[in-house]
Structure 1
Amino acid sequence: MGHENRVVDKTMAKHHPELELLTEHAAGSLSLAQAACISAHLNYCDCCSRTVARLQTIGAAMFESLDPEPVGDALLDRVLARLDEEAPLCYQPAKRKGQDATPALLSRLMAGDFSDLVWKKVTDALRITPIRTGDPQFEFSLLHIKAGGEIPHHDHRGSEMTLVLQGGFSDDQGSYHPGDFIYRSASDVHAPRAFANEDCLCLAVIDAPLRFTGWKYRWMNPFLRLQAG
């Protein structure tokens, strides 16, 4: 899987975050990993980008109408203490002319450059590589599903955000293509199957390990751990 230059079609996404998630994103109240996933979707979707921009404008107007609150020394100390922390989602190649404001690592993944990632095999069809975001509550990973391959029926013991980067997959609830955003709650059970003609690559953000529900793979569940941070 080498580097491939791709032009992002911002009208291609058919599945989007709910308004509540976009509102939380605009307000800056989502976790870092979740915000990164939605930010990547915005690069595929002009409609959601406009919605977030409007929400931010409304939020800014409401914020300006509030009375100012004093900021204590403790908050300033916490901010200064974080200045030396390593930046999450960091990648260093030279910025190309016309490149947008997407975090550099997300831009690289969306362009198809996976050359230096280390993959872990989960099943014959699924490989995964966690990506550091600095978020202690959510695992942010890149999933690779072989063309025609299926991830066995599972839930996640928690929430799951998925963004399709390349190829696509289908499950009992629909078919998903590059740019599509899918949210699953803990009660949802599904078995994504990659399209037959192309490997599928997705970003996934979870707050609990997946849990296989079929008897053939249940033995793996005790060994699955959340790799957050």
Structure 2
Amino acid sequence: MELLTEYAAGTLSLAQLACMSAHFNYCDDCRRTTEQLQDVGAALFETQDPVPVGDALLNTVLARLDEAPPLSYSRPQRSQGGGRSENGVPALLQRLMGGDFSDLSWRKITSALSIAYLKTGDSNYEFALYQIKAGGSIPDHDHRGSEMTLVLEGGFSDDRGTYHPGDFTYRQASEAHAPRALQGQDCICLAVLDAPLRFTGWKHRWMNPFLTLHAG
């Protein structure tokens, strides 16, 4: 509920907002709750006394109208119900990808994990797709910051449960886990981080100094 409230209030980062928006394409309950929270916020605004806008603030707002938008979209594919493109990917994510999963530049991290980084214009958060081979796992790791995860294809399991397309998880700093992709299909997830993950097992700790945040 806290994340939905922050979304409705517009206080989440740009990358987090994009991830939550993609989740709403799968989850009607979260979307409806957010709409209700926005209605409450709008009603509260109506009860407030108006505040005069000074010339300095007005000029600042007008100057920003000429700035380039933080998200650069290619032409989207024709959408189907639920705000998803013909291949089932949320339309917003499809625009950021500019193609299909196979068109992305995947960086191999381990034998089972590859990552493709996307640009949102958010300089504080990494916005990336994680591909875990069917039956493979991401080594034991914790997080130096927060992590949002949205399953797009396949699924994975960890100590909290099993997740399928559309499922959303949120982990705080220092929460450790080792996601394992379900058998039969590669798992592709969207992950939004504000700090690099950190491997905790002795076999992969040597990689930690090389794991940097790809924000922007």
Structure 1 and Structure 2 fold alike (TM over 0.5): yes
Which of 141, 147, 168 is residue 181 of structure 1 equivalent to?
A: 168
In structure 1, which of residues 19, 22, 31 is the aligned counterpart of residue 4 of structure 2? Answer: 22
Partner in structure 2 of residue 212 of structure 1: 199
After TM superposition, list the pairs within 5 Å mapping 1:1-229 onto structure 2.
19-93=1-75, 96=78, 104-107=91-94, 113-229=100-216
- What TM-score, normalized by structure 2, do the two folds share? 0.89
Aligned residue pairs, count: 210
Deviation digits for residues 7-35 of structure 1, max 9, x if unmatched?
xxxxxxxxxxxx01101101111111111
Q: What SS does the corresponding residue of 1:142 show, helix, strand or coil? A: strand
Q: Offset of 1:64 from its aligned partner?
A: 1.0
Comparing 94-103 with 83-92, greater Cα deviation is found at 94-103
Distance 1:114 1:87 in 2: 24
Cα distance change on mapping 1:62 and 1:101 into 2, 3 Å: farther
**CA 163–208 in structure 1, closer or farther in 2 if over 3 Å, else same:** same
Q: Is the 8 A contact 2:96 2:118 kept in 1?
A: no
| Alignment gaps of 5+ in structure 1 | 1-18
Task: Give the whole-Å Cα distance in 2 for the aligned partners of 1:187 and 1:97.
Answer: 39
Offset at residue 81 of structure 1 (A): 3.7
- RMSD of aligned C-alpha atoms? 2.2
Which amino acid in 2 is paired with 1:20?
E
**Could you tell me which amino acid in structure 2 is paired with residue 209 of structure 1?**
P
Deviation at 1:61, TM superposition (A): 0.4
TM-score (norm 1): 0.84
Percent sequence identity over matched residues? 69
Label 1:87 to 1:115 Cα distance change in 2 as closer, same or farther (>3 A): farther
Aligned-partner Cα distance in 1 for 2:132–2:112: 5
**Inter-partner Cα distance in structure 1 for 2:104 and 2:62:** 32
Q: Which has the higher strand share?
A: 2
Q: Which amino acid aligns with 1:121?
A: K
